[in-house]
Amino acid sequence: MDLVIRDARVIDGTGAPSYRADVGIENGRITHIAREGEPRPSGTRTLDAEGRALAPGFIDMHAHSDLAILRDPDHSAKAAQGVTLEVLGQDGLSYAPTNDTTLAAIREAITGWNGDGSDIDFDWRTVGGYLDRIDRQGVAINAAYLIPQGSVRMLATGWDDRPATADEVATMKRLVAEGMEQGAVGMSSGLTYTPGMYASDAELTELCRVVARYDGYYCPHHRSYGAGALEAYAEMVALTREAGCALHLAHATMNFGVNKGRAPELLALLDAAVAEGADITLDTYPYTPGCTTLAAMLPSWANEGGPEATLARLRDPATTARIRHVMEVEGADGCHGVPIEWDRIEISGVSDPELTDHVGRTVAESAAARGEEPWTTAHRLLIEDRLGSTILQHVGHEENVRAIMRHPVHTGGSDGILQGAKPHPRAYGTFPQYLGRYVRELGILSLEECVAHLTGRAAARLRLPDRGTVREGNVADLVVFDPDTVAATSTFEQPRSLPTGIPHVLVAGRPVIEEGQRTDVLAGRAVRRTG
């Protein structure tokens, strides 16, 4: 065989008890598993696991590396965590399908997520073209893609807040079908982001019916994670059941003061739907703060028409006064219906290097240093950084995080934004954080159960039968880690610190991490929908 991993504690991704075995790999697949006491296979190369855990590679169900994997194929932020597959195209906004006009608008709108793309050759316009680009270039780990509903709506209707016409809905359905045929695994939405949020439930249901025809899933960032969160979850459950479409709830949290301790209500809602036959999964990250852009906090009407229209409104004193009132008093839909708390909004990154003195401070702290009101600071930053600033939003609750991660339909997703001077540490630490803090230190999940959440259950949602478990015939996407030492070292102060306790990561049987160091192997490829 090409490689034999000897004396491994195999945690196979199903949740079953671990066992000792040698695992043989040939031509990128697992070809032989010899349990303790059985004849041992031989190989051209051997890797002695020394009793450490051998698991399927982790699957990041919610990633924002759409340009990062092209900009930096090394991708140590994920490879060093043991991630061997990530799902891109999240939150309804990404770079395919597109055309020359919408591409320019999307690049500006999500600069805070991915940079402005000035260093990228956008030589694609379709979903298939984007996936082909990944394959041509080669990347460290594999990538799957969700069709972004906001980008699709932009192609059909522009940025306008209005119902789509019948012809426009037909155009969107065609675009979704084309994306699924070209290999997408489902469709995402960002229903607090423009222009996707302007879609009615009827419109979304029609698109989900198309996704269901291809056995894909719908992954919404739904309409509220704050006031009205439970109603927003229920809306997505009802919508997808009407469409006959599988549902995967993105970064499923219960945030803000109004939702403290209310995770059991969400889980009861999901349990009832699953008991009635609904196909539902969700993902979370093991941290309490969220991460998005400062512009996302604005009321949706302020973002109508795209970035230039938003900036024009912010330069108009009367409109600015109205925006401020909605945000600070009423609670903007961009801030999930909750009045904004400037002492909980931390600037994590800026596009303009001249504004870096804001980074690492809350808006309230930055304003105090300047002797001005928080709104004045936020308003200036929005304009001067052209909506490109990213934020950490410190509004989560630890008891909710723990309750949701225990649920049997739970999977792991970093929601990791790699841009900015101080990105959220989840981008570099989500998976070792689960294994180190929540398994070893807190005992919230057993090791076998946690690995199943991060591997086998995610692969099942993606309809990838030959990934996510250690089984003969499966693709050899594997990670060797030490359960006693694995840990995230990324922090809010040092967010790009790589984890410890993960010495080996294989993608298609090839080492992308070896003895804890990144190799030059680019074994990752686009993983397309099958069937």
Could you tell me if 67 and 24 are in contact, meaning their C-beta atoms sit under 8 angstroms apart?
no
The chain-wide mean pLDDT, for the chain, equals 96
Residue 26 in domain: no
Segments forming the whole domain that contains residue 455: 58-288+396-464+471-518
Q: Which two tokens stand for residue 78?
A: 């994920």
In tens, the pLDDT along 248-287 reads 999 999 999 999 999 999 999 999 999 999 999 999 999 9
Question: Do residues 260 and 160 both lie within one domain?
Answer: yes
Domains in the chain, number: 2
Could you tell me if residue 303 is inside a domain?
Answer: yes
DSSP 328: I
412 and 513 both lie in a single domain: yes
Last residue of a domain, one of 394, 415, 438: 394
3-state secondary structure 423-467: CCCHHHHHHHHHHHHHHHHCCCCCHHHHHHHHCHHHHHHCCCCCC
Q: What number is the average pLDDT over the span 231-258? A: 97
Same domain, 97 and 215: yes
Is 477 among the domain residues?
Answer: yes
Residues 225 and 148 in one domain: yes
In-domain check, residue 488: yes
Residues 327 and 341 both lie in one domain: yes
pLDDT score at 530: 78
- Any residues with CB less than 8 A from the CB of 41 and at least 6 apart, and which? 1, 4, 22, 24, 32, 34
Closest CA to 48 of 12, 82, 3, 5: 5
Residues 335 and 356 placed together within one structural domain of the fold: yes
pLDDT of the residue at 347: 95
305-335 pLDDT, tens digit each: 999 999 999 999 999 999 999 999 999 999 9
What's CA 525's distance to the chain center, in Å? Answer: 18
Residue 403 has pLDDT above 80, yes or no: yes
Residue at a domain's end among 394, 420, 441: 394
**Percent of the chain beyond pLDDT 70?**
100
Percent of the chain whose pLDDT exceeds 90: 96
- The verdict on 119 and 66 lying in the same domain is yes
CATH number, position 266: 3.20.20.140
Q: Is residue 127 part of a domain?
A: yes
Residues 327, 451, single domain; the answer is no
291 vs 513, higher pLDDT: 513
Q: Is the pTM above the cut of 0.85?
A: yes
Are residues 232 and 317 part of one domain?
Answer: no
Residue 531's pLDDT is 64
* Residue of 189, 95, 184 lying closest to 145 (CA atoms): 184
Mean pLDDT of 70-76: 93
Q: What is the pLDDT of residue 231?
A: 97
* Claim to verify: residue 76 and residue 190 sit in the same structural domain: yes
- Residue 464: what pLDDT? 97
Domain boundary among 394, 421, 451: 394
Residue 420: pLDDT band with limits 50, 70, 90: confident
Q: Is residue 270 part of a domain?
A: yes
d(CA 68, CA 90): 14
Q: Which of 116, 108, 117, 110 is nearest to 94 (CA)?
A: 110
Residue 404 and residue 375 share a domain: no
On whether both 424 and 335 belong to a single domain, the answer is: no
